């Protein structure tokens, strides 16, 4: 904390009195008296430093001391020895990380990735550890932190194309999840261009190529709404990308006998169905009801879906809601959209999926505004009480949602269910 205060004074070229005035402190007490300064002090310090408040908080209470990330070669080992040491460490950490990742224990995966980073000596393995850390943060819905860590990994120089592409793909997905579509599209383009010149020869590269086409396809699908003058082109490109990703994932599912990959294929299909309906290649109303029937049947099955299959039906609920709000009218639009969003909320809660929650809350607000606009009545905006916490959490994770999120918190009536009250 003292270092930050001194830094503010030095960079601003202030006297002690000027610094005290900026911090709202007595000149004899410019430093906080405890290690836990009050919020107003941190805000004033952030203004003095010309830093975002979040960066000051991270510097004061961050989980990692940046200096601890430096792993000097104190034994004078050769580069080859360091590479071999890092390779063995990475293999050990990867086994632990993957076990946690598959189990959905993202905090444990995060700790494992950070352990690998601190142990790594070479650029390649620091970048690789950054990829694992970014993936764990993405799983926790910490998309901004995931993007920051991925960018850190990309700053290392001596890194293999495979690791660099993994970082770029993860960064693209983090941007996409936060609706930062321009940088997401840019990262996808770089990776896709690489694989066009260097066709994949390993499964991991085929998966990554399919993944970035999946992300780019969904970026295009969203851009079609933001850039209506280019909607037809965006939807057409989205269909190309999602069909490509679907074909690769289906081939890999058959080759690896991994049916979970077919869940991603199903997500691609849902995105294609939405895009085709918007292009007039299929009847929108029929498509909406087909998707609702399929989603309802899948989630109500005797053996409900899990993993990627479960997530796919959550996205089908989003795609269906998008189309219902655009193409259906009156009571039908209200009823169908509500059913889709109820399905989507169930999936988002089961998976603890923050990007999906953002879509559901935004669409709930859009549905309410549509009803008010079409009827002219001040219809109460009623939501389950359990959603309040999730709305707060989404505001913190997805900056673009903040305006809608605060609007929901200020206007919605959160009603506690009997089960929630009993708790």
Between 91 and 198, where is the model more confident?
Answer: 198
For residue 203, name the pLDDT band (cuts at 50, 70, 90).
Answer: very high
For residue 423, name the pLDDT band (cuts at 50, 70, 90).
Answer: low
| Per-residue buried b or exposed e for 188-201, using 16+ beta carbons within 10 Å of the residue's own CB | beebbebbeeeebe
Return the half-sphere exposure (C-beta side, CA atoms, 13 A cut-off) of residue 89.
22
Between 241 and 378, where is the model more confident?
Answer: 241
Residue 329 DSSP code: -
Residue 233 DSSP code: H
| 382: enclosing H helix or E strand | strand 382-384
Q: What's this model's pTM, rounded to 2 decimal places?
A: 0.84
Domains and their CATH numbers in the chain: 2-62 (1.10.260), 283-423 (no CATH)
Is pLDDT above 50 for 346?
A: yes
C-alpha closest to that of 56 among 89, 72, 32: 32
Provide, rounded to the nearest whole percent, the portion of the chain with pLDDT above 70: 93
For residue 165, name the pLDDT band (cuts at 50, 70, 90).
Answer: very high
What pLDDT does residue 61 have?
67
Provide, rounded to the nearest whole percent, the portion of the chain with pLDDT above 90: 66
Distant-in-sequence contacts of 150-154, Cβ < 8 A, 24+ apart: 150/174, 153/126, 153/127, 153/128, 153/129, 154/127
C-alpha closest to that of 232 among 276, 271, 181: 276
**4-23: pLDDT as tens digits:** 878 778 878 888 888 888 88
Residue 305 DSSP code: -
Contact 44, 22 (CB under 8 A): yes
Cα separation of 40 and 77, whole Å?
48
Tokens 């930050």 belong to 4
For residue 271, name the pLDDT band (cuts at 50, 70, 90).
Answer: very high
Is pLDDT above 90 for 34?
A: no
Contact 4, 44 (CB under 8 A): no
């Amino acid at each position: 904390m003292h270092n930050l205060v001194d830094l503010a004074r030095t960079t601003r070229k202030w006297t002690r009195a000027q610094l005290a005035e900026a911090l709202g402190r007595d000149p004899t007490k410019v430093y906080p008296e405890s290690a836990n300064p009050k919020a107003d002090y941190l805000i004033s310090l952030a203004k003095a430093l010309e830093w975002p408040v979040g960066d000051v908080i991270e510097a004061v209470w961050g989980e990692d001391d940046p200096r601890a990330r430096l792993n000097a070669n104190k034994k004078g080992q050769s580069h080859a020895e360091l590479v071999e040491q890092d390779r063995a460490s990475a293999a050990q950490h990867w086994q632990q990380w993957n076990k946690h990742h598959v189990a959905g224990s993202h905090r444990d995966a995060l700790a494992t990735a950070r352990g690998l980073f601190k142990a790594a000596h070479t650029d390649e393995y620091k970048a690789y550890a950054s990829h694992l850390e970014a993936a764990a943060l993405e799983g926790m819905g910490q998309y901004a932190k995931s993007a920051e860590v991925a960018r850190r990994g990309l700053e290392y120089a001596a890194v293999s194309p495979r690791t660099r592409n993994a970082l770029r793909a993860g960064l693209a997905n983090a941007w996409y999840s936060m609706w930062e579509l321009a940088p997401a599209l840019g990262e996808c383009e770089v990776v896709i261009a690489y694989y066009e010149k260097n066709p994949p020869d390993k499964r991991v590269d085929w998966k990554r190529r399919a993944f970035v086409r999946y992300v780019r396809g969904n970026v295009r699908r969203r851009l079609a709404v933001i850039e209506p003058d280019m909607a037809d082109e965006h939807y057409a490109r989205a269909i190309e990308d999602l069909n490509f990703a679907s074909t690769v994932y289906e081939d890999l599912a058959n080759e690896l006998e991994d049916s979970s990959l077919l869940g991603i294929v199903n997500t691609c299909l849902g995105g294609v169905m939405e895009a085709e309906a918007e292009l007039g290649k299929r009847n929108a109303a029929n498509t909406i009801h087909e998707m609702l029937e399929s989603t309802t049947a899948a989630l109500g099955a005797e053996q409900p879906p899990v993993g990627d299959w479960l997530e796919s039906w959550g996205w089908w609920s989003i795609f269906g809601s998008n189309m219902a709000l655009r193409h259906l009218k009156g009571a039908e639009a209200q009823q169908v959209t509500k059913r889709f969003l109820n399905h989507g909320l169930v999936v988002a809660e089961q998976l603890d999926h923050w990007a999906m929650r953002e879509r559901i809350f935004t669409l709930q607000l859009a549905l309410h505004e549509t009803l008010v606009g079409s009827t002219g009545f001040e219809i109460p905006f009623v939501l389950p009480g359990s959603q309040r916490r999730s709305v707060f959490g989404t505001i913190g994770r997805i900056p673009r949602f903040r305006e809608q999120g605060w609007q929901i918190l200020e206007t919605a009536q959160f009603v506690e269910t009997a089960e929630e009250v009993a708790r």
